[in-house]
Chains A and B, each alone.
Chain A
Amino acid sequence: MSKSSFVAEAVKKYGQDRESLMPILQYVYEKKHYLSKEDMQEVAEALDLSSADVYGTASFYSFLDTKEKGEKIIRVCKSISCDLKNKEQIISAIESKLNIKNGQTTPDKKFTLLETNCLGWCHKGPAMLINDNVYTELTPEKAVAAIEENL
């Protein structure tokens, strides 16, 4: 499937109103794991908006990356409750497993490692997301196992 057909699909599904912008961007993001300049231009045309407006909106949201990321995005919760539960160890374990630093993407574009604000699992920290899937009560071993599950 050519890249741009995701935009067409999304517009067909959600319509061309401005209120559909978020669902459309979220749809394309889910398929491609980031929003390219071309995608945003195409969305702008379909919704009759300026590309600056679309980019301005997309770039506001931390889950709508406008730079290319890995296929699986790991987001480790850095809020205080997870921090108290040693989320640093989780990050170190993932860094050495994937041989990248926090904030980086693996050369094969499979994984990106990021930190994020409260994931809403404070009673079961440390917690992380791999794309939409939640992993809680992590230990370094469990974090590594989660990565392997997603290989």
Chain B
Amino acid sequence: MSTDKLQKFKKRIDLIFSDVNWKEILDKALKTSADDIIKELIASCIRGRGGAGFPTGLKWKFAAQQKSDKKYVICNADEGEPGTFKDREILDKQAKKVFLGMAICAHTVGSDEGYIYLRGEYKFLVPQLEKELEEFHKELKAKKLDFKISIRLGSGAYVCGEETALIESMEGRRGEPRNKPPFPVVSGYLGKPTVVNNVETFVYTAMILKDGSKQFCELGTKDSRGSKVFSVSGDTPNPGIYELELGMTLDEFVELFGDGDTKAVQVGGASGFCVPRRKFKETIIGFEGIPTGGSMMLFNSSRSMYNVLHNFLDFFCEESCGQCTPCRVGCQQLLKGIVAVKAKEKPSKYLEDLKGMTETMKSSSKCGLGQSVPNCFNSIIDNFKEEVIY
């Protein structure tokens, strides 16, 4: 097995979970001007680690440019994508580094109030986070940075990870995504400019300021700079959390994590893509290939890809907020459709009709949830059609 190789790999990058002198990094950041911090982040080419991959430096720059009496910094810890569990681990092991990234953001954009939107499933973390926050706030006070972080809990709704749904939820409403624009950096929480970043993104921003953008840029590829934390599960002898360079091929990934019989990898969770074995070599994990918020699920040849697709569609039917028709009805029809084809109540060519419907979902759903259901559907149907039909 590849365990030796894996050990070597694990040692190579250690930015997220390493212990650092956070007080020193905070000092350094507070002595750096907002402009210089933004420049450094833009030079690092870091893109958001929550899935959508928006350049973080630009996001902070837009927020800094807004004229407003009040701005907010929100850490998105809703982590609901099936197969993702890295944000929980980061908050469990290195919460201070997350707060640090948030404080640096506050200093950069001019905010005095921050929130961590933590999914209800992770409520058990609250006591330890509160304790760490107390210590952190003391240090901010000593350094005279007027910034306070509070925790808000979710209550079991995947769509609340979408940044505008998250804001709706924080405002005490149903977690229904808003139309964009306006983007949260212009009009977010309570209508004020708001930066929403993923847990991991905040830690990387702090590490980039500590080590400089050059070091970060040396990792990864032209389109996907740096490293990323992956959540590995499914049929693997090495499930867990790994920080790896971006831009590796799936072939390399499977060599490290596969059980010798890997038939497919679902990259990016239920809303990501299913890649079959014959495409491992040509598939790059990164923004130029298949981007992922970190979820990597391996399936070996004993698994039915029909069951996998059924599980994903069931998930989307439950988690669609129901606000727009293409997504609400589309999810249900896709699920019903594959069940009917399996039961021979519909001919196999009906799958083509369903694929046609996913075009509508992609183009006319209001948010990323409905827009990305076609990813798993089409990639499983295209690559494992026989398993869905027979």
Contact = CB atoms under 8 A, between A and B. Distances in A.
Contacts of A26: 120, 153, 155
A80 B376 CA distance: 13
Given A117-B319, A123-B232, A22 B152 contact: yes
Contacts of B155: 22, 25-26, 29, 61-64
B149 to A, nearest CB: 15
A69 B87 CA distance: 30
Given A80-B234, A120-B121, 16 more contacts: A21-B172, A21-B173, A56-B174, A57-B174, A60-B157, A60-B176, A63-B120, A79-B315, A80-B266, A80-B312, A81-B82, A83-B307, A119-B121, A122-B234, A122-B297, A125-B233
Contacts of B232: 123
Contacts of B88: 120
B243 interface: no
Contact of B80 (A19, A29, A84, A117): A117
B76 interface: no
Nearest to A131: B123
Contacts of B315: 79, 117-118
Contacts of B79: 120
Contacts of A29: 155
A26 B118 CA distance: 13
Top 10 closest pairs, chain A to chain B, by CB:
A21-B172, A63-B156, A123-B239, A122-B233, A61-B155, A62-B156, A63-B155, A60-B174, A81-B233, A118-B82
Interface in A117-140: 117-125, 129, 132-134
A80 B297 contact: yes
B240 A123 contact: yes
A116 interface: yes
A81 B120 contact: no
Q: In the complex, which range does the number of interface residues on chain B fall in?
A: 35 or more
B147 interface: no
A81 B297 contact: yes
Interface in A4-45: 17-23, 25-26, 29
A60 B155 CA distance: 9
B83 A79 contact: yes
A57 B160 CA distance: 13
Contacts of B270: 80
Nearest to A124: B239
Given A22-B169, A80-B297, A132-B124, A116 B235 contact: no
Nearest to A133: B124
Interface string B171-184: 11111100000000
Contacts of B290: none
B303 interface: yes
Instruction: Give the interface centre of A81, A129, A132 by most chain B CB atoms within 10 Å.
Output: A81
Interface string B83-123: 11101100000000000000000000000000000011111
B121 A80 contact: no
Given A79-B315, A118-B83, A122-B82, A23 B152 contact: yes
A57 B153 CA distance: 14
Given A26-B153, A61-B156, A123 B312 contact: no
